[in-house]
Structure formats: structure tokens, C-alpha cells
Structure 1
């Protein structure tokens, strides 16, 4: 999550691990460039905050709302960090965020839909 030119990550490194697990650091691409810029060139702009992970793998700061029971387990750390930091989660084309948008926002999670909130246009050619 980026707020005021800073990248907000968790102290435990789970978000960073997820970013790097899905990227090939030597290959071109927007995601690769993003993580490379912050982890190498702009490391001073990274702020790390604590999110508490429970023994069962859940996050203390993730909302315990019934409508979020089906929200992607691997995305819950991003939502918890949004609540703790007040920073929005930048989502490109993950439909789970759109499908649970109202419940997440009602629970204090801020979401910035980089590609807009119309799923039908995410992959449309212009």
C-alpha cells in the first residue's frame, strides 16, 4: 500500500513475501518494476507496521464480519494493514476485492481500484 509516497508493509514481511513470490525480479513488467523500485531504490520510503497474526493464521485486525468469511485468506493481511495504517489497498484486477467491497469498506478497509471498479472493462481492449 502506498500513502504519501511511502509503501506500507507489515513488520513480519508477509506482504513482501507475497509480492516477491508472484514476481520474477529479473523480468520486465509493471509489478516487477514497482517492487524493484521500492525494495532497492526507495527502501527509505518503506514504513513497516505491526499486524497481529493469531495462532490459527487469522489476523486480529481483519474484520470478523459474516459477509467476509469467504474473502480470500491470502488477501486478509492487506485488509488488516489498511485498517491499521489508514492507507488504501491498491487493487488492479482481483475480483474478490470488488465482490466484497461494501463489507470491506464498511469495516474500515480503504480500496483503490487501479483499473476501475467495472470488472467488465479490466481486460477490454480500448
Structure 2
């Protein structure tokens, strides 16, 4: 499992982000969603994350820059995500599906992200 921490840009703001291949989906803290288009879910969606069950009632469209590359993702909104190993508040959790779609590969031994697989175009069949 790869986990890398970085700031990502959302508009004029920078948010502390955990890139976690152990998480399938992408999540944003409620404070981040205030700057994004959000949508009410038809019913609460329970999610187990970080040893806690969250009832997700909103999702959003996350448009951000990861190391200068544009990334768009569907994200679930949580009141709070939690803290990283150093106690720093996680504002965005980038999950495996988003990383796969955008060619983001965590390199834990270097505490880096490999963006060499970022798509120059999407080919649909």
C-alpha cells in the first residue's frame, strides 16, 4: 500500500492531501467542499474510514492541480478525514480510482509521486 502526502491546489487554496492506494474512493473535508460544486445524495451513504463510520450525505466535483497537472475527480464529502502520522490534518484523501484514472503512481520509498503516466489524451473504445 502506498501513501504519499502533498499539498494540492484547488483554485487559490492549497490543501494537505494524502494519496492512499488503500482507499478506493476520494474524499474531501467539508471545509474544502465549500469552494467546490456539491450535490446532495438521495440518502446517507455509510463509509468506514480510519476506524470510524461516516455517513456521507454530499459529494462534489474536485478540480485540482497535482504537481502542476490538472486532475478532476468525484469526491465524497466528510465532516473531517482525520490526521496523518505527524498529526497534520488531512484535507483531501486521494483514492486509488482517481490515481488510476490520472496515472498518478505513489513511490513510497522516495516519498514522491510518479506523474509520468499522466494521460495526454483519453482513448475510449
Short-chain TM bin: under 0.3
Structure with greater proportional helix content? 1
- Which has the larger Rg? 1
Output the TM-score relative to the length of structure 2. Answer: 0.26
